[in-house]
Structure 1
Amino acid sequence: MSLRVDWRASVSLTGTVLKYIALALLVPLAVAIVYREDILVFVAAIAITVAIGEAFERLEPDPDLRPREAMLLVALAWFAVALVGAIPYLLAGYGTESALRLPINAVFESMSGFTTTGATVMAEISVEHHSHAIMMWRQLTQWLGGMGIIVLMIAILPELAVNGAQLVRLEAPGPELQKLTPKIAETARILWIVYFGFTIVLVGLFYGLHLVGLAPNMSFYNAVAHAFTTLPTGGFSPEANSVAAFGAVVQWVFIPFMIVAGTNFALFWYVFHDKPTRFLQNTEFRTYAGAIAVLSGLLGVLLYGGAAPALGALGGTTEGVGENALRHALFQIVSLLNSTGYATSDFEQWDSTAKVVLLVAMFIGGSAGSTGGGIKIIRWLVVLKVARRELTTAAHPSAVQPIRLGGAVIDEDVVRGVLGFTLLFLLAFVVATVFIALDAARVGLELSVLEAISASIATIGNIGPGFGMVGPFGGYGDFPTSSKLVMIFLMWIGRLEIIPVLVLFTGAFWKR
């Protein structure tokens, strides 16, 4: 069989990406030096990553990537980054009872980090059980994966900027690329500058609360660590109790930044260029804000009415119950809707009605062009408009009714792409749910249907926590190896919007 794909070009550029990931390892190395922990681990990890990257680069690629090579590069780079990202975990014996010395567990944690899923195989999560450097690397992987590794590479590497538009289109979340400037490399830099700016602001706010005494346990380390996983909608935390480890004031600060993370970052560029009305004119943002308001209001009413008794009386009185219900409802809806996965409360203890509301939020997703996961708001809008058109056509067969969004007509090719993605997403979700349930039964692991459903949607939607054993303070460590492999695959295809990965497994991709 004659191959149609110049795989050497994709592998060689993957090596270039890995060498820049080695530079990112300098951040946890600096933390290791400060705390005098795991210094050799990160020195060795950097050396190994550079060596692998150098070996790949020697294949000398054709600088002009064709569409197939671009697709292979994006899929391969993300998988390779997850593999080298597991090296520090393996070298450090990261995890209770050295759980992550098992390669499958280390790769699971690394893939979860870079894809901003937030699912973990750790039994104990805190700097009391693991080094500050290892935990900071865990946080940093999510920040790097949030805006996109390939987008970052396009912003700084001229050899990738040549093919930047098609690479960003394959990696960026959502069905369309919003080009802010004539040059795609400049657009990539703008997106990363906005992303970096919000991160710095959040670090300042967190640490400022600590300095004025409103957040005693929000040290500078914690401020950086949580900013690194809030803006990418990641959800990893070096605290065992996640955001529940902090007081109400800190939790309120998280909420607007999680909303920002699920918003199309291009809209902020327009605001900074004196076009603030673009927010109100954007149909997807209005729908996103409306979904948050409706679901938070519904959940708040349920919590206030007793769906979560633990949120009840403070100090033996009913004082503060309303604020508690509103804060926990808004926080959890925002966190799960845009796939952040933080938790302020163990919602596994809430009643079934409240859990249904949370499950609905998990299926919605953030905005296109955001760091949020899931199906995305804009796709649901298109799907609903297509459904309405089909009903109208059934009554009026001769009617011509194009799909419009925000006053603009959507091309039918885009509509077909949206429907195709949504179908593949739901199909992969259903198949994975069945596999996880059967695999658990095979090894005698007690797993309810809701737990299997939530584990599947939490990984393919890059959400992280689910219900039952994978609840907000649980983990994925007890799943059999076969299920973990499937979940690693789900996180990978979920972050890259399924098609750039699944197409690699078709014969048509490789054949002439």
Structure 2
Amino acid sequence: MGTVLKYLAVPLLLPLIVGLIYGGDVLVFLCTGILTLVVGTALERLDPDPDLGAREGFLLVAGAWLGVALISAVPYLLAAHGLPGLLAASSPASTLANPVNALFESMSGFTTTGATLLGEISLDRHSHAILIWRQLTQWLGGMGIIVLAIAILPELSVGGAQLMDAEAPGVGLEKLTPRIAETARVLWIAYFGFTALEIALLYGLHLVGMAPNMGAYNAVAHGLTTLPTGGFSPEADSIAAFSAAVQWVVIPFMVVAGTNFALFYAVSRGKVRKLAGDAEFRAYAGIMGVLAAVLSGVLFVGGAPPLGDLGGVVQGDIENTLRQSVFQVVSIVTTTGYATSDFAEWSEAGKFLLLFAMFIGGSGGSTGGAVKIVRWVVIVKAIRRELFTTTHPEAVRPIRLAGEVVDEDAVRGVLGFTLFYFLLFGVGTVLISLDVSRVGYDINTLEAMSAIAATLGNVGPGFGSLGPFGSYLDFPNSSKLLMVFLMWIGRLEILPVLVLLTSGYWRS
């Protein structure tokens, strides 16, 4: 934990530099960096040579995400309360002056959820430094979750995560070997390379006049939140604030972000055919294609108000309808959470289709959240096997992925994870509905369901006032803390957190 927090001081230099360039909140990030170094070093010295086993791994995984979320909330609080001193520019009236709000925004960042408490007015009150830190938390969380999914969770055999390709390990709990170090380097290069490429393309559109408001700052800000499937934007209208060309450029990068990064490692080793031959990737592409086609039909015949009401959807316009449909389906399936129009105002058919998409998720080993494609593939195969063995009870029919037999423990892990996921979704929806009715906040059942699906699945926006152009600000603090917990537990595949709540974990 100490090592993780200590190195968190390094990325704090970026918003500090931005503060110097644009003016504002320099002292905020200087103080936060010093605090992070002190706390991290102190924790690290408690045990200079830790022996990490499986039990310690669970605690490290859960504790690291909670620790970095707490630390990353500090700049929001310092800036919101008007820290006196060098270039303190943020308004004391900031939404994030409330510690619960600051933690919500911070957890949403590091878990790459993208649910936000900041509306148009709130965004305008914050300095460029604070907003770039908000973007950067998602970029850091995205790479962290790739390492977690490809390396640590398979080591702990959590929730079927051991379905990851054994030929593409990441940074595991054991000491680094040259091969693992090389894998980590390839993953970082791929992640950084895709981010840099998107930034360059977005800024290039600005230079050629195809995206007038996509300057250098916006290009960097959106590049930092696409690859982690985060969805934070310094613009209140998200990607709808930009031209159609920008929207088309962002789509393939969201697709890349939702792809298993272990496949990029395999491609880097010359196994190019593995990408096209991967069952999960084919299912991932196929599901998004089918959903986009269905949604296109819904919007084309009148599934959304005309242009002017939403600033994006044009009924009867083939290019516009196709772009809106593809963009929104990819954004929700990959759990990015960007928006090109206010889908909260679409027809019931369109909204229920997007609610369904919130449970799909990206590929295993990607930055996407929710249940994830690899689990749905296993579940479908398990259902087909059950139907077959019902009429052929003597048959032995193992489940296979990429030609390899899936261990039955992994199958049970997938089924157990999915059961926990939907149980949390149901319980969370009931608790949210009861809590908001207690304080008189009026939301309907679909909006309550979308709030839980969006936070547990790390999707971000929901429906109604929680839509892509809205915020979660009006929820009571108790509901916000519940959603903070759901973002945390959902990002970490549920079991690494739940296992800490059992008495057996704490007994030797």
TM-score using structure 2 length = 0.91
Q: How does 1:87-126 map to 2 (within 5 A)?
A: 87-93=74-80, 97-124=93-120
Distance 1:439 1:497 in 2: 25
Contact 1:402 1:409 in 2 (8 A): yes
Contact 2:455 2:483 in 1 (8 A): yes
Q: How does 1:61-210 map to 2 (within 5 A)?
A: 61-93=48-80, 97-124=93-120, 128-148=124-144, 151=147, 165-166=151-152, 169=155, 175-176=161-162, 177-178=164-165, 179-180=167-168, 183-210=179-206
Distance 2:300 2:225 in 1: 29
Alignment of 1:60 with 2:56, yes or no, is no
Aligned equivalent of 1:51 = 38
Aligned equivalent of 1:25 = 12
Contact 1:461 1:491 in 2 (8 A): yes
Alignment of 1:350 with 2:338, yes or no, is no
How far is 1:60 from its partner? Answer: 1.3
Contact 2:299 2:315 in 1 (8 A): no
Contact 1:314 1:320 in 2 (8 A): no
Aligned equivalent of 1:385 = 381
- Aligned to 1:148, the other structure's residue is in SS state helix
How far is 1:342 from its partner? Answer: 0.2
Distance 2:306 2:38 in 1: 52
How far is 1:36 from its partner? Answer: 1.5
Distance 1:100 1:422 in 2: 34
Q: How does 1:235-274 map to 2 (within 5 A)?
A: 235-274=231-270
Distance 2:350 2:71 in 1: 39
Aligned equivalent of 2:85 = none
AA partner of residue 16 (structure 2): L
Distance 1:205 1:172 in 2: 38
Aligned residues: 487
Contact 2:291 2:329 in 1 (8 A): yes
Distance 1:224 1:172 in 2: 35
AA partner of residue 371 (structure 2): I
How far is 1:408 from its partner? Answer: 1.6
Once the two structures are superposed, what CA deviation does each residue of 1:2-38 show, in whole Å capped at 9, x if it has no partner? xxxxxxxxxxxx0111110111100100000111111
How far is 1:472 from its partner? Answer: 0.7
Q: How does 1:368-383 map to 2 (within 5 A)?
A: 368-383=364-379
AA partner of residue 423 (structure 2): L
Aligned equivalent of 2:502 = 506
CA RMSD of aligned residues (A): 2.3
Contact 2:146 2:366 in 1 (8 A): no
Identity rate of aligned residues, in percent? 61
Distance 1:277 1:150 in 2: 22
Alignment of 1:214 with 2:202, yes or no, is no
Contact 2:159 2:495 in 1 (8 A): no
How far is 1:263 from its partner? Answer: 0.6
AA partner of residue 204 (structure 1): A
Distance 1:302 1:396 in 2: 41
Distance 2:147 2:442 in 1: 41
Gaps of 5+ in 1: 1-13, 155-163
Which among 279, 290, 308 is matched to residue 286 of structure 2? 290
CA change 1:434–1:151 in 2 (3 A) is same
Once the two structures are superposed, what CA deviation does each residue of 1:33-80 show, in whole Å capped at 9, x if it has no partner? 111111111111111111211221221154321110111011101100
Distance 2:120 2:323 in 1: 27
- Aligned to 1:339, the other structure's residue is in SS state coil
Distance 2:213 2:160 in 1: 37
How far is 1:199 from its partner? Answer: 0.4
Contact 2:158 2:496 in 1 (8 A): no
